[in-house]
Amino acid sequence: MKACRVRYTSVYPSAPERVWRVDSPQQNITQATQDETRAAAVLLLSAVRHTRPGMVTGGLGFIGSHVCLELLRNAYNVIILDNLSNSDRDILGDITSAFLARPSDGRHVKDTRILHLPYDYGDSQAVNAALTGFQDRLDIVGAMHLGASKSVSESFEDPDKYYENNVVKTASFLDVLSARGVQNIVFSSSAIVYGRRHACSRESPLSESLVMVPEVGSIPQSAAEFLDYGNGSSPYSVSKLCGESLVSHFTQRQAGSRGVIFRLFNPVGCDDTGYLAEKSRDCKHSRGIMPTLLKSIRDTSVVFGVYGTDYETADGSCMRDFVHVSDIAKGMVMGIRACVGGSLMAGCRVYNLATGRGVSVKQMVEGLERQSGMARRTGDIAVSVGSSARARAELGWTPQKDVGDICRDLCKHHRLGRFVCQIPDWTTDNAARWTASKKSPESSTESGRLRRPDWSTSGGEPSL
């Protein structure tokens, strides 16, 4: 058989040994991934001293990249499974830049590594080969499953895609983990699983007990059954309930296995270094509220659309529990640490990651001059505010940031983005041009700056 090609590509010039990308030939995928990951494991071994690596699916996505950064800051080595279907290789460099800009503990900077394997988590052959390659040398501490399709509106248009990506592939991934003896799993679910049936307000936020994890035998067996199932408001929400059920079943069939399901309320913002933010290839279905809001601030010709003005809320717009993505990343890492450290009993536990305080979409955009009363989006829920009491009591997680921090960090990202995030790869020439641009007087002109939203019309920033 032809020798396998292994290439470790540095994406950060001052730390060429820290970040690798593994590229596989299309043929002989099993042998290729085993050989590649064995070689990568040898390199990782030189760094692993006091901790084992964690695996993250969807690790180059918006939430995934922040989770990987938080793992690095907690001295974990990181193995990313991401097929780049809705992300970009360059995010590896952004993660590394953010880590080197502010590591949590400087003692661990030289001992920390991150590796990207460009495989689909639903490709059981490739994932099994990769795990086999690593487990010859290393013990993987656990898996954090964040990879998924995630648009409510798209799930109505293409329910088959959501059944395949979020249910079938999750089942396949968990089967491989079970076969390879990986016992700890953290799953990224969504507050969308609460649907429309449960009354919600600031005074009565959604608690985990309102929607129980379904038994695996009761979940839909095809995309055609999505719309008729349970209390889900969309095929996306049903697919997340199915994922929860599969994770729960995973922990039941393995003695000593631990699982944590996080129901995430609206993640927004970016790491405060400014290097990471929401960047999606799928512009039609993946436009978040904050990137669109900031785009309208930068460009006065861009109209920020408010989707629906007739919801049963004080100002007619949706009310959401906006949570800083860095707080969410911290909570998810607390989850894997609780699994590994044994502070959780064997089995599966569900937690909301929420602030418990809601803010309306109109409050978020009040002060902007250009609004339009666009129609509601299919599947949107009027009020979604969650209780974080369980996560606070059992994991010690409390959100540290509010909407003011969210706006500040995103503005910082957009200021840096002109120079950092647009660079396709870290060649010496590009790095030199970036350094020169940072020192250029043009980089501090008014046209390159972003102003924060003017909240004066509402008497100050929304209180969270």
Q: Give how many domains the chain has, as a whole number.
A: 1
Query: What number is the average pLDDT over the span 27-32?
Result: 47
Between 42 and 426, the higher pLDDT residue: 42
Residue 396 lies in a domain: yes
Residue 162 lies in a domain: yes
Residue 435 lies in a domain: no
For residues 282 and 167, give the distance between their C-alpha atoms in angstroms, rounded to a whole number. Answer: 21
Whether the predicted pLDDT of 72 surpasses 70: yes
Q: Give 453's pLDDT tier (boundaries 50, 70, 90).
A: very low
pTM of the complete model: 0.74
Structure token pair of residue 263: 């129901």
Between 62-73 and 325-341, two packed helices, what is the crossing angle to 10 degrees?
A: 60
Residue 285 lies in a domain: no
Tell me the per-residue pLDDT of 290-306, one tens digit each, with 9 for 90 and over.
666 666 666 656 555 55
Give the contacts of 324 (CB within 8 A, at least 6 positions apart). Answer: 267, 268, 269, 399, 400, 401, 402, 405, 406, 409
- Percent of the chain past pLDDT 90, that is, above it, reads 26
> Which pLDDT belongs to residue 458?
32
Which range has the top average pLDDT, 3-7, 21-25, 139-143, 350-354? Answer: 350-354
DSSP string, 86-98: SS-TTHHHHHHHH
Q: Give 388's pLDDT tier (boundaries 50, 70, 90).
A: confident
Residue 167 lies in a domain: yes
Between 30 and 16, the higher pLDDT residue: 30
Residue 231 lies in a domain: yes
Q: Which domain holds residue 346?
A: 51-277+322-355+385-404
Residue 445 lies in a domain: no
Tell me the per-residue pLDDT of 265-290, one tens digit each, with 9 for 90 and over.
989 888 988 888 777 665 555 556 66
Mean pLDDT for all residues in the chain: 72
Domain CATH for 392: 3.40.50.720
Whether the predicted pLDDT of 175 surpasses 60: yes
Number of helical H runs and strand E runs in the chain: 14, 15
Backbone angles phi, psi at 266, to 5 degrees: -50, 100
Residue 460 lies in a domain: no
Identify which of 307, 270, 274 has the alpha carbon closest to the alpha carbon of residue 290: 270
Between 4 and 393, the higher pLDDT residue: 393
Identify which of 236, 199, 234, 399 has the alpha carbon closest to the alpha carbon of residue 319: 199
- Percent of the chain past pLDDT 70, that is, above it, reads 57
Between 107 and 230, the higher pLDDT residue: 230
Structure token pair of residue 313: 């809320």
> Which pLDDT belongs to residue 56?
97
The SS3 call for residue 221 is coil
Between 455 and 321, the higher pLDDT residue: 321
Q: Give 109's pLDDT tier (boundaries 50, 70, 90).
A: low
